[in-house]
Structure 1
Amino acid sequence: MTALQVIGEYYSRQTVLPEIGAHGQDTLARSRVLVIGAGGLGSPLLMYLAGAGVGTLGIIDFDIVEPSNLHRQILHGVDRLDTPKTASAVRTLANINPHIELIRHDEPIGTANAERLVAQYDLVADGSDNFDTRDAVHTACRQSGKTLVSAAIQLTSGILTTFKSHEAGENPCFRCLYPDRPDADVAPSCSAIGVLGPAVGAMGSLQAIEVIKELLGIAPSLSGTLVMYDAFACEIEKVELPRRAGCALCGSQAYPPVTGGNSPTVSEG
């Protein structure tokens, strides 16, 4: 078999889908996606995007693999302990799909560098674990005109939505959902309160689907909709997320940027 035949066979179960086909597969191959975090959410997200044939995947994480990661961060294994997560991720993803480009960004992302990093990609998927990082990434995406697919999870519950308020229409922004910075005791870290591994996997997989949909222009977009997942109840609820009147970011007022430079980007979960 020729190299092209091998690649064609690799994606054969996907290209038979009428929503994708050969044209859609070519679109995915030419797409560049930046993933924030190579942890709980980033693991299934990156693995499924690699398997789907997204041509270039950028991976941002400055953390190393620790034993407490392994029950849910399935990109990594015990043979990767103390290894940078980006290096471990590239090793796993290259084994899943050798036909794509993998780019490591071993650095925190925040207000100082988010716009530079985001500008290199077509779409951003955020799986970070703190408000300031998410806020800085969203602001950079809005300024750069890039769609952001965002997921978060704690305990056994997660949320998922897509932000593209840079487009015309009633697309809400991150600050429509979070008009104020939450207090640390309101949004504690997973290390403090725990998280269920399979629930993280489910959210990361749902996030991968939304990334693929946005790259291919498959409707409906999650922009304007908030998905809430309860793992133990096995329930998914979708609620309207409207553009908020008077929003300080996408409304008429100027929104002050988050201060404090780069916030640590620790992978979600």
Structure 2
Amino acid sequence: MDFSDDQIERYARHIILKEIGGAGQQKLLAAKVLVVGAGGLGSPLLMYLAAAGVGTLGVIDDDTVSLSNLQRQILHKTADIGRAKVDSATEALAALNPDVRVVIHPHRLTAANALEIIAGYDLVADGSDNFGTRFLVNDACYLAKVPLVSAAIGQFEGQLSTYKAHQGGQPCYRCVFPEKPPEGTVPSCAEAGVIGALAGVMGSLQAVEVIKEITGIGQSMAGRLTIYDALDARFRTLKLRPDPLCALCGEHATIHDLTLHAA
């Protein structure tokens, strides 16, 4: 793939990095990444992936923009209130980088469509805001053999990890969180609140990990979980191990398809 003059200028700061260079930038331009959710995490994530020149960005979200979103969902503007988030996102990403092809999925990810959608991408970045979707994305990525970069935020804390259990020797999301917590025990951002800039921190870190996975540089976050405490301005990283009893990737796995998930 030859770069145009505009591309050489646009991606110059990547190309001069010896770890990325022209070959790494070509990998980014050829990559297809699905972002689950165009909200708090998805906003900075999508913007940085588009700016980096990821060639195809899939965006799945069935929600519309509301005024309360704008405190953290920087992909959208006040004028977008009431619009589908996928439409607002497409417009913003096209304005940022016309090199990028945006594929919209204006519906909820379900057990009926997850495998078909995810199988069309090289990597998935999950920015969803509920445990049900996180489990579904994890299971579909494992079954489709697609790497997953997952982040979550709440109040003043964020979490980030990469899951590639299908490659062997690494944990999946279920190894770390075996079951969804009981209803009402973990409040949503709407119930408990979240500092808006936290979404920017974690979504940006998520974008870095996606770029690393695509280009093959640095140390993968697979097998590690980073936790950011914004109030203490402190990062800590935990080592993760595969769970031999995991229902998805363990020695006696009981999940072999997505039929156990509610549609």
TM-score by length of 1: 0.94
Q: In 1, are the aligned partners of 2:37 and 2:59 still within 8 Å (CA)? A: yes
Q: In 2, are the aligned partners of 1:125 and 1:211 still within 8 Å (CA)? A: yes
Per-residue CA deviation, residues 112-132 of structure 1 (Å, 9 max, x unaligned), is 110000011000000001111
Q: In 1, are the aligned partners of 2:56 and 2:101 still within 8 Å (CA)? A: yes
Q: In 2, are the aligned partners of 1:176 and 1:244 still within 8 Å (CA)? A: yes
- Displacement after TM superposition at 1:158 (Å): 0.6
* Distance in 1 of aligned mates of 2:129 and 2:62: 13
Q: Which residue of 2 aligns with 1:267?
A: none
Q: Which residue of 1 aligns with 2:48?
A: 48
Identity of aligned residues (%): 48
Q: Which residue of 2 aligns with 1:234?
A: 233
Pair 1:133 & 2:133 matched: yes
The amino acid across from 2:173 in the alignment is F
Mapping 1:176-255, distance limit 5 Å:
176-255=175-254
User: Structure 1 runs of 4+ off > 6 angstroms?
Assistant: none
Higher mean Cα deviation, 79-88 or 237-246? Answer: 237-246
- Displacement after TM superposition at 1:15 (Å): 1.1
* Distance in 2 of aligned mates of 1:176 and 1:191: 27
The amino acid across from 2:198 in the alignment is A
Higher mean Cα deviation, 27-36 or 7-16? Answer: 7-16
Q: In 1, are the aligned partners of 2:136 and 2:261 still within 8 Å (CA)? A: no
Q: Which residue of 1 aligns with 2:33?
A: 33
The Cα RMSD (Å) is: 1.1
Q: Which residue of 2 aligns with 1:265?
A: none
Mapping 1:14-33, distance limit 5 Å:
14-33=14-33
For CA contacts below 8 A with separation 6 or more, give which structure has more relative contact order: 1
- Displacement after TM superposition at 1:219 (Å): 2.8
Pair 1:67 & 2:71 matched: no
* Distance in 1 of aligned mates of 2:223 and 2:185: 24
- Displacement after TM superposition at 1:138 (Å): 1.0
The amino acid across from 1:175 in the alignment is R
Number of equivalenced pairs: 258
Q: In 1, are the aligned partners of 2:244 and 2:251 still within 8 Å (CA)? A: no
Unaligned runs of 5+ in 2: none
Q: In 2, are the aligned partners of 1:172 and 1:244 still within 8 Å (CA)? A: yes
The amino acid across from 2:214 in the alignment is L
SS at match of 2:34: strand
- Displacement after TM superposition at 1:183 (Å): 1.4
Unaligned runs of 5+ in 1: 262-269
* Distance in 2 of aligned mates of 1:180 and 1:41: 23
* Distance in 1 of aligned mates of 2:237 and 2:102: 33
